[in-house]
Amino acid sequence: MSQTSFRLSEQDAAFYHDQGYYLFKKPVFSPKKFARLNNIFEELLHSAQGIRSDELDTPHFREPRLFEFLMADEVLDLVEPLIGPNIGLWSSHFISKEPLIGRATPWHEDSSYWKGRFDRLDEIVTIWLAIDDADEANGCMRVIPGTHHDGFSEYENVDKAQNTFGSQIKPDQIDDSKAVYFELKSGECSLHDGRIIHGAKANTSPRRRCGYTMRYFSQSMKLQPERNQGHKIWSCRGENIANNPVEPPPSW
């Protein structure tokens, strides 16, 4: 256990496992540390060429300064009560929905995009760190609680010009009235199971809505190398139990 100690109680972890999500309504990082992350995002955003602001995927592959945050005890101490002490870094992604024109994120399960990439998908947790304030008006994330227990849904194609993905769960499988909206202040975060149904409405407000997703897996899960060509993973804490092909420890 690190100096910061675990940041979720047994009750918090039980809620996460039952409902598939948890809202951490406290600052994840100190103001100075969060400001450093914000500055890195602004640099990446302004240097992006030919990439939409909601498509800054796996930026840590190119920007080693992000490992200060991805490997931080403040983050790993949120993750450990949920998937155990042997933590691997799966991916990260800046998703910025610009004012008035930010695309919708259709209902989906992250796990549907990873099918076959691991031997199982039950111990992947995503931290969604609010770079900006996020609320219903500017397209905050929303989930259908408990759907991580249900397995894969059926999908249909959608217009990618209006959506961040080209497919969505068929509407007849979704009860929007059950949606929980993840309203967060800048610096706070949510955590969700990789199998839960979630999405976000378009940003029609005059305010930007940016989040940084930091995604982790239990190192007891086995990566399938033939289905992960060019993808890099790291060991963050504990042991690489499944002997996955992890990258050398990063420096920043």
pLDDT in tens, 67-115: 999 999 999 999 999 999 999 999 999 999 999 988 899 999 999 989 8
Would you call 119 exposed, middle or buried from its count of C-beta atoms within 10 A (0-12, 13-18, 19+)?
Answer: exposed
CA atoms of 113 and 117, how far apart (whole Å): 9
Give the Å distances, CA to CA, from 126 to 74, 76, 149: 14, 11, 16
Q: Give per-residue pLDDT as tens, 50-62.
A: 666 666 899 999 9
> Is 26 within 8 Å of 34 (Cβ atoms)?
no
Q: What is the pLDDT of residue 6?
A: 65
Structural domains of the chain, count? 1
Domain that holds residue 189: 10-103+117-136+183-194+201-237
Kindly state whether residue 1 falls inside one of the protein's structural domains. Answer: no
Q: What is the pLDDT of residue 1?
A: 40
Kindly state whether residue 251 falls inside one of the protein's structural domains. Answer: no
Q: Give per-residue pLDDT as tens, 218-227.
A: 999 999 999 9
Cβ neighbour number for residue 217 with a 10 Å cutoff: 28
Kindly state whether residue 163 falls inside one of the protein's structural domains. Answer: no
Give the Å distances, CA to CA, from 143 to 74, 170, 249: 24, 15, 34
The type of residue at 90 is W
Kindly state whether residue 45 falls inside one of the protein's structural domains. Answer: yes
Length of the chain: 252
Kindly state whether residue 172 falls inside one of the protein's structural domains. Answer: no
- Tokens encoding 138: 């500017």
Q: Give per-residue pLDDT as tens, 130-171.
A: 999 999 999 999 999 999 999 899 999 988 888 878 899 999
* Across 173-189, average pLDDT: 96
DSSP element (H, E) containing 54: none
| CATH label of the domain that carries residue 31 | 2.60.120.620
Kindly state whether residue 18 falls inside one of the protein's structural domains. Answer: yes
Kindly state whether residue 249 falls inside one of the protein's structural domains. Answer: no
Kindly state whether residue 3 falls inside one of the protein's structural domains. Answer: no
